[in-house]
Amino acid sequence: MELGLFLALLGAALATFMAGIGSSIGVGKAGVAAAGVLAEEPSLFSKVLILMLLPATQGIYGLLVAFLILQGVGIIGGGAGEISNLEGLLYLAASLPIAASGLFSAIHQGKCSVAGIHTVAKKPDTMGKSLIIPAMVETYAILALLISILAINGIGALGI
């Protein structure tokens, strides 16, 4: 029995749902803070919305990696060939950086976003600075995304 396709799919699933969990938690936390601020200062809507959406990107990175994997194994776009166990495992491994890094960075970015929302509530003109602090955390999700993309791209080229 060939497990290759299953393993690759598992990788795609992991990338989507782990990064998705992270983003949900992050955006959720920030959303709670944002709603609180809006009760007092409705005019800050666009600012807190931006801060709130910062941890949403990890979920998208996860989706992106999952999509690349599905495309790589031919589930999307047709032409699904034989996927060897090794190839499947490689895809699974390639999904891990964004899965794990997405999960944790989104949660912690969410915390920074909450803090940023509080800062903006008190001093709306510190928006620029408040935006940069959560963006620091996101760097690590971006690095993970990069490795996941490069790895998936490389597996295709290996021709196993």
Partner 1 sequence: MAILKMQRISIYALSRYSKDVLETLQRMGVIEIEKCNIEDSVFYQTDSTPLSTSFLRSASVMVQAQEIITEYAKEKKGLLSSLEGRTPLTVDEYEEIAQKNPEALRLAYKIISYKKKITENKAKIIAYNTRIDALTPWQNLDVVMDTGSTASSKFILGSFPEELCEEEIRLKVAEVSPETELFDVEVISKDSNQTCVFVVCYKGVYDELLSALRKIGLILPSATTPSNPDSEIKSLKSRIAKREELISECEKAIASHLNDLPLLRFFEDYYVMKAERYSQLDNISYSPHTFVMTGYIPKKDSEKVSKVLFERYGAEVELEDAEGEDVPVLLKNNAFAAPAEGVLLSYSAPSRFELDPTAIMAVFYYVFFGMMFSDAGYGLVMSLACGFALLKFKNMEAGLKRSIKMFFYCGISTTFWGLMFGSFFGDAVSVIFNTFIGQPAPVIPGITTPIWFNPTVGSGPTTLLMFSFLFGIIHLFAGLTLQAVNYIRQGNFIYAIYDDLSWILVVTGAVFALLSTDMLSGMMGGFKLSPVFLTIGGIMAGIGAVLILIFSGRESKNPLKRLLKGAYNLYGATSYLSDILSYSRLLALGLATGVVAGVFNQLGSMLGNSVVGVILFVIVFIIGHLLNIGINALGAYVHTNRLQFVEFFGKFYTGGGRDFKPYAVNTKHYNIKEDI
The footprint of partner 1 (CB under 8 A) covers 50, 53-54, 56-57, 60-61, 63-64, 67-68, 76-77, 125, 127-129, 131-132, 135-136, 138-139, 142-143, 145-146, 149-150, 153, 157
Instruction: For partner 1, give the closer residue by CB, 115 or 142.
Output: 142
Instruction: Report the distance separating Cα 73 and Cα 5, nearest Å.
Output: 7
Dist. CA 38–CA 138, nearest whole Å: 25
Q: Which residues contact 149 (CB under 8 A, 6 or more apart)?
A: 64, 65, 68
Which residue, 50 or 115, has its beta carbon nearer to partner 1?
A: 50
CB of 57 to partner 1, least distance (A): 5
CB 99, CB 62: distance < 8 Å: yes
> Which of 49/85 has CB closer to partner 1?
49
